[in-house]
Structure 1
Amino acid sequence: MTEFDLPKQLALFIISTILAGLTIRLAIPLAHISGILDRPGEHKQHKHLTPFVGGTGIFVSLLAALPLLGYLYPEQSVKWLGLGISSSIIFIMGLIDDIIYLHFKTRLVIQALSALIIVLVSEVILIDIGNLPFGEILALPGIAATFTIFAIIGSINAFNMIDGIDGLSGSVSLTSLLLLGIVALATGHQSSLIIIIALIGGVVGFLFFNLRRPLQPRAKVFLGDNGSMLLGLLITWLLIDLSQGSSRAMTPVTALWLFSVPLMDTISIMLRRIWQHKSPFKPDRNHFHHILLDVGYRVNDAVFTITSVQLLFGLTGLAGLYLGIHEQVMLLAFLALFFGYFYLTLYPWHLITALRYLHTFRGLIPTESRGFFLGSYTAEEAKNIVHMISQELRPSLDSLIHVIKNKTSANDTEKYAVIVNIRLLDTDTKTMKNEIGSFIASAQKHINERCHIQLRPFIERNPQNDRRKLSERDNSYGGRRLADSRKDNQKLLIFEAIYDQDSIAKQNSTDNQPNKENS
């Protein structure tokens, strides 16, 4: 076996990056010709036809590593053959799914077949889950193969489900791969290190086309199911391979920490859908990255925040590993974080408030928005108005409806104002402004005709231009008027309702209640 030293590692990274970049660049025009494109609509954020060819760069980087593995480790040639076959199956299935949208049951069967090849051919199996009970290794006799197949299928879909905004899946994958690289390098697992370096090069080549930057305001390509599922498979392979056997590089609990964000987000979103009596496989806008966007984070800010969380959790897992903290303690800590994450996403208004403070503290610029508000109404009137406004909103507009409790005296009936914010995406701002202006004009006409309600534009108020605060020497705007002015620290009771257009249309046939209301 030839030693795989630093110059060779660097050469592999450069070659993988260049191959991935060139492959994706050549695949872009072919995708437009063949129709391998993501089209705007439904829960998607983008407004352009975008090629689904990011996975080709990841796949080519893997193909660059497999011959090297066969040359350096010929005694494990069957293992690399199994990896190549299972990866090819997932890549081809994902590519077909990107074109014709396979049913989720079909995807699960093919994913199970790919996982079975990993178990039977490559013999990469979850034999045990570590020293959890009483300091002894908890083996999985009789169910190891089945447990591994389910774990691989779940991980594949976890990575697929977080692939929601430009740069997110690639950045989270890159973070996990870098942390896995540290583990493999520290323990001398050279074969795993070759796969990791090649994949890092592939992901970097992909992110060049996918991350937003000054000269690239939107993604030129998407990872697609072919890329996200392939990355999920390969990272799961590495997590299992490095955490099993007598010469394991890390504990199984550490693997959970290195996979934390995709795992937590996927399990939380599926549990929440089941809790709300919905299909766990139906897409929606309740992922963590959607919450960040609704708060006002720009796409790159959301990617940076989630990637930072993934890095923090991963480093925590490595710290526990290298400091010798017991696996039971690390597992309990992970479960505590998961249940906290699940609670915050199940009741997101607490999280939204904290994220807004964090957004302001970091000095980030919120995504630009436009909107309007409607005066002062009782709770029942406000609920009916919200329902009516939600029916007027166009599916192409990314909107957030607020119901704010007005300040009242002890003897007054509680009154609420309804505010509609429409978020402008980072791209096509001019087009979106024109569309929003047209919508507001139409809504003003229809709502006035139906309910005799006048809409008022929701404009940003600059305290420096407030005449009531310009000068305390001016009696016209001082004294009583200044005392009546809204306090900067006034506390308001806020209800936020985020509406899904498809659900509204379906629900209108059964009742007059809003689709979803967080209060």
Structure 2
Amino acid sequence: MLGNGMSRELFAGGLLAFALTAVLLWVLVPVAHHVGLVDHPGGRKTHYHTTPLIGGIAMFVAFAFSALMLDISLSSYRMLFAGSLLLVVVGAIDDLYELSASRRFIAQIAASLLMTLGGGVVLVDFGYLVMPDNLLSLGPLAVPLTVIATVGLINAVNMVDGLDGLAASLVLIAIITLGVIAWFGGDVQEIAIMGLLGATILAFLLFNLRLRGRALVFMGDAGSLFLGFVLVWFLVALSQGEQRLLAPVTALWLFALPLIDTIALMVRRVLLRRSPFLADQEHFHHILLAAGFSPRQALSLMVLLALAAACVGLAGHFLGVSEHWMFFGFLGLLALHFWMIMRIWHRRRFWGRPLSPSDDAVA
């Protein structure tokens, strides 16, 4: 637990990050319209107004500036900020000019290498996933598997960013639950940095949620890449080493819903002989919208499900549930989700319209 003095300092830092994010979002709206950094309605999109794509830029600038104001050493986080800056720049360029998927992947791999080789944040082991007394060490596969996992989670955040407030809310849930674990573990530096990130996300949500009938700003690819990278940094950093604060399997539960939805969707795309990275409208939030849920109802339901999964992770952590049982539970939830998705696609009446021949072939 932290003392009152440190708690006040962390609160002041969070307040600064929140206020700075809000100010930047307000100031950058006309700039975004002037330079064309906006998202136009049409196609697969569900919004009806031209919306600035400045959320990611504002959150990163506020996050980085507020971190400089903290009375802690930031030397161990240099690669966190370097990788974040790289992804924000590439994401902003993508928001403006729509970069190819290969270029985005190169940037993500580069950021992952900054994290692993430069920052020393590496998946050394998977914990005791299969056997209670057998540590699943990765050995020479540590760095490549960390890069794969990092790119995968970054894209999971990017893929779930299809509903106002959804990606930011799910990342916020993961950050808050990680913060709870770090709080009881007394890790001041991690709490401080994650607190700043949480504050910037909260400020962004005030502009992104449809509190006034429509979203005022979107985070864009700059935001989803940034949030995904920072999240995976802390999930890995806090779950590795002799002084780890949580087991690797707990990290899975804290961000379970986007991971499960992304894995299930990519498997389904492969079964349909499509590219697993092809954009479509087959994510869980798309299914909820097609089933008749309003955007706000779909968002609320997914946030509740994500919060429930994160609470399972917290309960398993604090109650000392064996890691292999937590892992088998995660696999069971993944299997259940995949089965339900396949059944939903099979039942045409659920959609109210016929499925394509390729859908029938798999369903």
Same fold (TM > 0.5): yes
1:9 corresponding residue in structure 2? 10
1:271 aligns with 2:249: no
1:433 corresponding residue in structure 2? none
Structure 1 CA distance for aligned equivalents of residues 208 and 132 of structure 2: 47
Give the drift of 1:34.
0.4
1:497 aligns with 2:353: yes
> Structure 1 138/206 Cα, relative in aligned 2: closer, same or farther at 3 Å?
same
2:20 corresponding residue in structure 1? 19
Which amino acid in structure 1 is aligned with residue 204 of structure 2? F
* Contact preservation (8 Å) 1:61, 1:201: no
TM-score, normalised to structure 2, is: 0.94
2:50 corresponding residue in structure 1? 49
Structure 2 CA distance for aligned equivalents of residues 50 and 346 of structure 1: 34
SS at match of 1:243: coil
Which amino acid in structure 2 is aligned with residue 312 of structure 1? A
4+ long deviations beyond 6 Å = none
Structure 2 CA distance for aligned equivalents of residues 314 and 134 of structure 1: 22
Give the drift of 1:223.
1.1
1:87 aligns with 2:84: yes
> Structure 1 145/515 Cα, relative in aligned 2: closer, same or farther at 3 Å?
closer
1:137 corresponding residue in structure 2? 135
Give the drift of 1:498.
5.5
Query: For residues 257-406 of structure 1, what are the structure 2 equivalents within 5 Å?
Result: 257-348=253-344
Q: CA RMSD for the aligned pairs?
A: 2.0
Which amino acid in structure 1 is aligned with residue 313 of structure 2? G
Structure 1 CA distance for aligned equivalents of residues 273 and 235 of structure 2: 33
> Structure 1 284/84 Cα, relative in aligned 2: closer, same or farther at 3 Å?
same
After superposition, the C-alpha distances for 1:259-317 in whole angstroms (9 at most, x for unaligned) are 10111111111111111111111111111111111111111111110010010000001
Structure 2 CA distance for aligned equivalents of residues 496 and 58 of structure 1: 40
1:252 corresponding residue in structure 2? 248
1:200 corresponding residue in structure 2? 198
Structure 1 CA distance for aligned equivalents of residues 186 and 351 of structure 2: 54
SS at match of 1:5: helix
Structure 2 CA distance for aligned equivalents of residues 281 and 39 of structure 1: 22
Give the drift of 1:68.
4.3
2:239 corresponding residue in structure 1? 243
1:502 corresponding residue in structure 2? none
Give the drift of 1:497.
2.8
Structure 2 CA distance for aligned equivalents of residues 296 and 322 of structure 1: 38
- Between 1 and 2, higher relative CO (CA 8 Å, sep ≥ 6) is seen in 2
SS at match of 2:302: helix
After superposition, the C-alpha distances for 1:320-347 in whole angstroms (9 at most, x for unaligned) are 1111110000000000000111111122
Structure 2 CA distance for aligned equivalents of residues 272 and 514 of structure 1: 14
Give the drift of 1:211.
0.5
Structure 2 CA distance for aligned equivalents of residues 498 and 80 of structure 1: 51
Structure 1 CA distance for aligned equivalents of residues 270 and 242 of structure 2: 39
Decide which structure has the larger Cα Rg and report it: 1
1:97 aligns with 2:94: yes
SS at match of 1:284: coil
Structure 1 CA distance for aligned equivalents of residues 255 and 187 of structure 2: 19
* Contact preservation (8 Å) 2:32, 2:38: yes
Structure 1 CA distance for aligned equivalents of residues 11 and 39 of structure 2: 34
SS at match of 1:131: coil
Which amino acid in structure 2 is aligned with residue 142 of structure 1? P
Give the drift of 1:139.
1.3
Of Structure 1 and Structure 2, the greater strand share is in: 1
Q: State which of 112, 118, 122 in structure 1 corresponds to 2:119.
A: 122
TM-score, normalised to structure 1, is: 0.66
Give the drift of 1:496.
4.0
1:111 corresponding residue in structure 2? 108
1:72 aligns with 2:69: no
* Contact preservation (8 Å) 1:162, 1:168: yes
* Contact preservation (8 Å) 2:171, 2:255: no
1:182 aligns with 2:180: yes
> Structure 1 138/515 Cα, relative in aligned 2: closer, same or farther at 3 Å?
closer
* Contact preservation (8 Å) 2:290, 2:351: no
SS at match of 1:329: helix
1:32 corresponding residue in structure 2? 33
Which amino acid in structure 1 is aligned with residue 353 of structure 2? A
> Structure 1 18/219 Cα, relative in aligned 2: closer, same or farther at 3 Å?
same
Which amino acid in structure 2 is aligned with residue 34 of structure 1? V
SS at match of 1:181: helix
Give the drift of 1:106.
1.0
Query: For residues 149-188 of structure 1, what are the structure 2 equivalents within 5 Å?
Result: 149-188=147-186
Which amino acid in structure 1 is aligned with residue 146 of structure 2? T
Query: Percent of aligned positions with the same letter in both sequences?
Result: 36
> Structure 1 294/327 Cα, relative in aligned 2: closer, same or farther at 3 Å?
same
Structure 1 CA distance for aligned equivalents of residues 51 and 288 of structure 2: 23
> Structure 1 146/517 Cα, relative in aligned 2: closer, same or farther at 3 Å?
closer
Give the drift of 1:121.
1.4
Structure 2 CA distance for aligned equivalents of residues 17 and 495 of structure 1: 41
> Structure 1 169/495 Cα, relative in aligned 2: closer, same or farther at 3 Å?
closer
Which amino acid in structure 2 is aligned with residue 172 of structure 1? L
Aligned residue pairs total 359
Give the drift of 1:41.
2.0
Give the drift of 1:45.
0.8
Give the drift of 1:80.
1.7
Which amino acid in structure 1 is aligned with residue 248 of structure 2? P
Structure 1 CA distance for aligned equivalents of residues 354 and 202 of structure 2: 35
